[in-house]
Amino acid sequence: MFTGLPSFRSVARCPAGGLLLLALPVAATAATVEGTFTFTKLTPSVALVYLPEDTGALPQEVAISHKNKAFTPRLAVGAPGSAVLFRNEDTAQYNIFAEDKELKISFDAGISEPGSSVEQKVTWPEGTVLRCGCKVHPAMEVYIAALRSRFVATVEFAPGQKTASFSIPDVPTGATLVRVWTPRQPATDLKATPSAILDFTHKGATYGSVAVTIKP
């Protein structure tokens, strides 16, 4: 467990192939987690990287918009208790819902009219990820991770994209445990001392990997 850290949250987001760094306050003694996902096939829609030992994040409002039959972002993060606000920024109607027997989550927002919003609390367990969709636009999906960690990178892959880099700045010096999650396989912990590689496999064949390094 990390202690004595400032209560900020550094989120590096990589939408549609570009690297975008947001909200990067500087810690006194800090390292940076850097890494790259590489896929030869079966590229996931999103990927999540975080330091699971940190628990400093507080509940907050998480905004997710839907427009043109897609959610933005496609991977969101909120500490348990956070309020997720789904905003319909389209001229069309939607019906946001989630149905996850394992997480025991079932909600149906009903018809979401243009310009309207619906709120859903993050009530699923810390460290788990809920998939939400739309009942009439089945290709739409957004993953919402319940995390107390303040050190998180979210990656969103565009169609056809094979690689994406990420960075989590200002992590505590000495941190080595990194957790990686994609929709296709469960969260996996890596010990980055200072580097580690995780292969993604399907039916015994490797289809991608992520290389992680913690730089002082």
Q: Is there binding between residue 203 and another protein (CB under 8 A)?
A: yes
CB nearer another protein, residue 104 or residue 203: 203
CB nearer another protein, residue 28 or residue 158: 158
Q: Is there binding between residue 186 and another protein (CB under 8 A)?
A: no
Chain positions 76 to 105 lying near another protein, rule: CB under 8 A, are: 92-95, 97
Rounded-to-integer distance, Cα 144 and Cα 138, Å: 17
CB nearer another protein, residue 4 or residue 160: 160
Q: Which residues contact 212 (CB under 8 A, 6 or more apart)?
A: 33, 34, 35, 49, 178, 180, 190, 192, 195, 196, 197, 198
* Three-state DSSP state, 16: helix
Q: For residue 45, how many other CB atoms are within 10 A of its CB?
A: 17
Q: How many binding residues for another protein (CB under 8 A)?
A: 23
Q: Which stretch binds another protein (CB under 8 A): 25-33, 116-124, 146-154, 201-209?
A: 201-209
The sheet that has 205-215: what strands, in order across it? 163-172, 30-39, 205-215, 195-202
Torsion region of 126: left, alpha or beta (phi above 0 gives left; psi -120 to 50 gives alpha):
beta
Q: Is there binding between residue 135 and another protein (CB under 8 A)?
A: yes
For another protein, the binding residue among 29, 101, 102, 159 (CB under 8 A) is 159
CB nearer another protein, residue 42 or residue 58: 42
Rounded-to-integer distance, Cα 50 and Cα 43, Å: 19
Tokens coding 119: 């709120």
Q: Is there binding between residue 176 and another protein (CB under 8 A)?
A: no
CB nearer another protein, residue 74 or residue 150: 74
**Residue 197: C-alpha distances to residues 36, 38, 186, 190, 193 (Å):** 10, 11, 16, 8, 11
Q: Is there binding between residue 207 and another protein (CB under 8 A)?
A: yes
CB nearer another protein, residue 110 or residue 174: 110
Binding site for another protein (CB under 8 A): 40-42, 69, 92-95, 97, 108, 110-111, 135-139, 159-160, 202-203, 205, 207
